[in-house]
Structure 1
């Protein structure tokens, strides 16, 4: 159920709200929680130049995209990271207009919204600020939602509105191959292509059965885990006019065929063949400088565009990096119009909607992180209490913030979680050093298997003959640490957080790992759920050691 809109009188006196809080950048389950008493947005805090295009909405639905996970991961921290912490993630949303700038008038063409309008908005500067009861949105990429479109559909349509710009590039009668056809953009761009008059659409996806069903209605679906679309003889004999790559990396395959003098499944540029993409070769990329972004998004695309239009035009299709995040309302307006008249139907992942709770938000992010969603979104509704935990144990009940507390687990469940961490600590070290190594092992273990973490811990011991302790980790350079643990997922993020956490333990806790949950939760990289686990591990281990000593 969607929460009712706050009245204007309530809004005027409201100072805090419920919102998702990203404590830092890193693991989904450690960093994301839904909190009360988060500061309410205020248009007065914005710079004067920005106020004119901003308004506050009561959020009803939020659609997640790959950028939301990328920001949280820290892979593009210096470029897309929030200016401060905690931050509110999420960028594409729908809701009801609650407040507009004081100088806005109904006749002002630059501000065509009024309080009470149902609207959908896409992010502009960075994907953040939407996963809250109230959000500031930019009117330049905002549009009214037609009466026959729900808030959930509106949020999804705003998120995938680049599909409109991409789909409108297709010409009548073209034969098109879409790679990554089952995702959010792929599920909608095919509908726009059909409206444009595409004669034959082939989609490539792991979930290929869905591509043949309404509203996608591809003419053929290929499961890339069973068939290689680039090697199919029927398409080499009758090549496509256009290849649309939404998955990343397909141009490299075309180059391989080009170098091997193999027949291609797409026409060359000299015959009108085209290659359109929205993503670099690696869809999950890491960039910490302007150069790191310019290389895959500017220099490589320019080189490929030149090559495919000049000396490679007789063998390669015309390469275009079809950047589709225009900062204007026109494409969103066309998207809503197509949805209003039934030409475009919003595709919402059947595994949703996800509730506006800690566990609901984490589930939505985890699904988006797999890169196999079908327009996932988080629905705004009251969080449910007393729900069963995901462990499946009848003894394990969820905490009110959505995580399972260690004290509510059985002994067997506790041992399963904590035994692997203790096994990675040095048994010959002092109690304080072992306690820190347990914390370190637990932090490195996020999104990784035990053998991988063991290898990283061994690499640290080899690189630090003086021992792995709070003192040595606080003094080490984050880049050096990252090289030691480069076999782990998110190793750069983890390295920075580990160094910062060690420095905080030194300065705030006299070099000793705190034992209580609250103090642990204040350390960089340690969320509330993680703090609960570690506090319980340390307390229980201390009691066991005391019993042995006696």
Structure 2
């Protein structure tokens, strides 16, 4: 089968190699998927550049790709919740990625059924962002009636986070480009901040939860708008000791991440709030819950460009450019 393989980490080269490999064999708890579409994400380029080696030390060569949609072709003898011919999707388990291939073996616990109203290409935009939001909300233990600020809510994560937050009973404040204001209001945002004309760190205070999609200096600004006891989950801030403990990393890694995240932990402590970092993991149960909400609301993710597997490196370059207006997808 065709597959796109990473052979070496290179900070200056994110290109993958097209190779022919054997179709994977499944164990008792896995399903074999014939891949129909795969999402292309900044994470794929981070892996190629070696930026997540401390979090997930992949052994090379590696078939790349984290987000998959496919048709079940076979199931292991211990798999009862899925059957041949069903359309499913997943954020692949951290230790067994490989969505950029014609077939992939996936642990059934990572899988969920694709809502009927989504095409394969549209479905490829869902797992990573949906699970990111669900796991962030779980970390913060969000409660109905409270307020969340979603920074950069006009992006792909925001398009998932806003309706999910409303489904959890939260009041939603978000920021972004004014061009997209009506779209995020249609998703359920209660208040919109145009980042070009208003500084959220000056106009907001006493916020219960923050979902930080921006990182950098913005993370510290978002910490400052939280009320005492508030919580922030960052997708782009620094990993910290709490993250390393949650991931059950060895002690030396916990120490290393503790040092890396010390500054943000210290700032959070100064404001009497809690800082979390999230690196999204596979979870079929959460993805199914997200799918049910999406199906009820009939939310369709935005798609930017669709490429073939042979043009994967163009897709990776597209994502690396940072100028996408929606998801980049590989269609098989």
TM-score (norm 1): 0.51
- 1:22 equivalent to 2:14? Answer no
Cα distance in 2, alignment partners of residues 374 and 208 from structure 1: 14
**In structure 2, distance between residues paired with 1:184 and 1:291:** 35
| Residue of structure 2 in register with 1:187 after alignment | 159
Secondary structure of 1:334's match?
helix
Give 1:143's aligned residue.
112
2:268 and 2:274 in contact (8 A); partners too: yes
Query: Which of 5, 20, 25 matches 1:43?
Result: 25
Report the CA distance shift for 1:293/1:348 in structure 2 as closer, same or farther (over 3 A). farther
State yes or no: 1:165 paired with 2:141.
no
Does residue 202 (structure 1) correspond to residue 173 (structure 2)? The answer is yes
**Structure 2: where are the runs of 5+ without partners?**
240-248
Q: 1:124 to 1:152 in 2, by over 3 A?
A: same
Alpha-carbon offset, residue 302 of structure 1: 8.4
The residue that corresponds to 1:347 in the other structure is: 301
- Structure 1 or 2, whichever has the larger Rg, is 1
Equivalent position of 1:99 in the other structure? 74
Selected match of 2:201 from 230, 239, 251: 230
Indicate if the aligned counterparts of 2:210 and 2:222 stay in contact, CA closer than 8 A.
no
**Cα distance between partner residues in 2 of 1:139 and 1:22:** 25
Report the 3-state secondary structure (helix = DSSP H, G, I; strand = E; otherwise coil) of the residue aligned with 2:226. coil
| Contact kept in structure 2, 1:121 and 1:139, CA below 8 Å | no
Q: Go from structure 1 to structure 2 and tell me whether the alpha carbon gap of 1:371 and 1:211 turns closer, same or farther (over 3 Å shift).
A: farther
Please state which structure has a larger fraction of its residues in strand.
Answer: 2
- Name which structure has the greater RCO, CA cutoff 8 Å, separation 6+: 2
Change (3 A) 1:277 1:122: same
Separation of aligned partners in 2, 1:295 and 1:376: 36
- The alignment yields a C-alpha RMSD, in angstroms, of 3.4
Q: Distance in 1 between matches of 2:277 and 2:10?
A: 30
Q: Is it true that 1:252 corresponds to 2:236 in the alignment? A: no
Change (3 A) 1:142 1:28: farther
Q: How many equivalent pairs are there?
A: 318
In structure 2, the partner of 1:117 is: 86
SS at 1:212 equivalent? helix
Taking structure 1 as reference, are residues 293 and 375 closer, same or farther at Cα in structure 2, changes over 3 Å only?
farther
Q: Is the 8 A contact 1:23 1:31 kept in 2?
A: no
Native 8 Å contact 1:276 1:321 kept in 2: yes
Partner of 2:245: none
Which residue number in structure 1 is paired with residue 102 of structure 2? 133
Q: Is the 8 A contact 1:68 1:128 kept in 2?
A: no
CA 1:184–1:296: 2 relative to 1, 3 Å? farther
What SS is found at the alignment partner of 1:213? helix
- TM-score, normalising length: structure 2: 0.80
- Unmatched runs of 5 consecutive residues or more in structure 1: 1-16, 45-50, 256-263, 283-288, 382-550
Rounded Cα–Cα distance in structure 1 between residues aligned with 2:207 and 2:150 = 10
| Deviation of 1:64 (Å) | 2.2
Matched residue, 1:396: none
